[in-house]
Structure 1
Amino acid sequence: MDEKLKVREHHQNMNYPQIKQFSWYRDFYKRGFDIFFSGIGIVMLAIPMMVIALIIKINSPQEPILFRQKRIGKNDKVFTILKFRSMSQDAPHEMATQNFENPEKFITPVGKVLRKASLDELPQLFNVFKGDMSIIGPRPLISKEKKVLELRDEYGANKILPGITGLAQVHGRDEITDENKAAYDGKYALNMSLLLDLSILFKTVLDVVRSKGVHEGRSK
């Protein structure tokens, strides 16, 4: 049997438990940690972010420094995510980059470096500080990614804040199927803890250093 079909049938046949109504870590401490660490990150990375912004502006003075896009957040609430612009303005905005046929056509020379090192994600610290996102959580999706959003609804993953990095990202990122991404997101929502968050953060740093799991455009 096809591996994707096996995964899909496995998820459909499972009776997923609901996340707890209240959790001290998820509903109280985690938000405090997010405010504290995103605030520190914004202060410590202010100069590097200004340098990146300057380089982007010099490289393409007529185009904006930041990329803004509507994403689906906690409880399906729409918010605007912030990223350093890594593509030209004529790139399709309402499509996940992994679905591009020819992403290299749109990625700028500066953007290529930023994306490889995940530096384009740094402005999301402001999203975290504001409360739209968490440092750790399911990656926020665009509204057209209906398949994963529907699976996340089943697994309870849409009931928590999306994150800069998450459990799916450290288990393959662009290399795993939509079903597995949603399953990892659901597993995280059910098992959220400080230890799990620290583990994901540590693995994320290692993956960024090794550029692991990053693929531009559709898999060949």
Structure 2
Amino acid sequence: MIRFFDFLLAVTGLIFTLPILLVVTIIGYFDNGSPIFIQTRVGKGKKPFNLIKFRTMKVETESVASHLANEQSITKMGKVLRKTKIDELPQLINVVKGEMSLVGPRPNLFNQEELIEARTKQGVYDVLPGITGLAQVSNIDMSTPELLAITDRDMLNTLTLKSYFKYILLTVKGNGSGDAVKNKEGNR
């Protein structure tokens, strides 16, 4: 049932946000010359997939988890995209393709070994990764791998259609900060 709603909501979301997607893409070309960011992430069964987002950091930024990146890497437009969560909209394509769900554990990078180990112990890779979930709306990010893995598992063990829509609505309302980038002093 969740896959049905994933597909339906993602297609609807892409249709309704198409003007935003086009405007951000055009502005992105002027902001950094490369508005779309594609990065290999860990998917269901630990299989790789290409996550699609709007670029929020300078092109030459090292490929690390957001909480390890420096705030100075974020472009002016990127700050707006992150704050409004518009940078996440292209992931609706990943949802339509069946690589992600709207709700699930956020997909991590393959170089996040501590998180991969913690999530493997919790069985988190048995499901599709998601755009949002309990950890995201609770401000738990990838800088705390054990807590994140346990929170992801708790969400998966209690996920119902009602909580599925609750996480989506909380995200749309602006709850959670996702994987925040730290400033040069190491604070969020």
Taking structure 2 as the reference length, the TM-score comes to 0.91
Residues 134, 163 of structure 1: 8 Å contact kept: yes
- Displacement, 1:157? 1.0
Residues 156, 189 of structure 1: 8 Å contact kept: no
Number of corresponding residues: 185
Q: Which residue of 1 is the match for residue 42 of structure 2? A: 72
Q: Which residue of 2 is the match for residue 98 of structure 1? A: 67
Q: Which residue of 2 is the match for residue 180 of structure 1? A: 147
Distance in 1 between residues matched to 2:131 and 2:98, nearest whole Å: 12
User: Any idea what the Cα deviations from partners look like across 1:180-202, whole Å, max 9, x if unmatched?
Assistant: 11111111222221011112112
Letter in 2 for 1:217: K
Residues 66, 180 of structure 2: 8 Å contact kept: no
Residues 67, 143 of structure 2: 8 Å contact kept: no
Distance in 2 between residues matched to 1:80 and 1:146, nearest whole Å: 19
Structure 2 unaligned spans of 5+: none
Cα 1:164–1:59, aligned 2, differ >3 Å: closer, same or farther? Answer: same
Residues 67, 179 of structure 2: 8 Å contact kept: no
Q: SS of 2:141's equivalent?
A: helix
Q: SS of 2:21's equivalent?
A: helix
Structure number with greater Rg is 1
- Displacement, 1:89? 1.1
Q: Aligned-pair RMSD on alpha carbons? A: 1.8
Distance in 1 between residues matched to 2:108 and 2:178, nearest whole Å: 18
State the identity as a percent.
35
Distance in 1 between residues matched to 2:93 and 2:179, nearest whole Å: 24
**What does residue range 107-186 of structure 1 map to in structure 2 within 5 Å?**
107-174=74-141, 177-186=144-153
Distance in 2 between residues matched to 1:188 and 1:54, nearest whole Å: 37
- Displacement, 1:173? 3.2
Letter in 2 for 1:97: S
Residues 106, 129 of structure 2: 8 Å contact kept: yes
Taking structure 1 as the reference length, the TM-score comes to 0.79
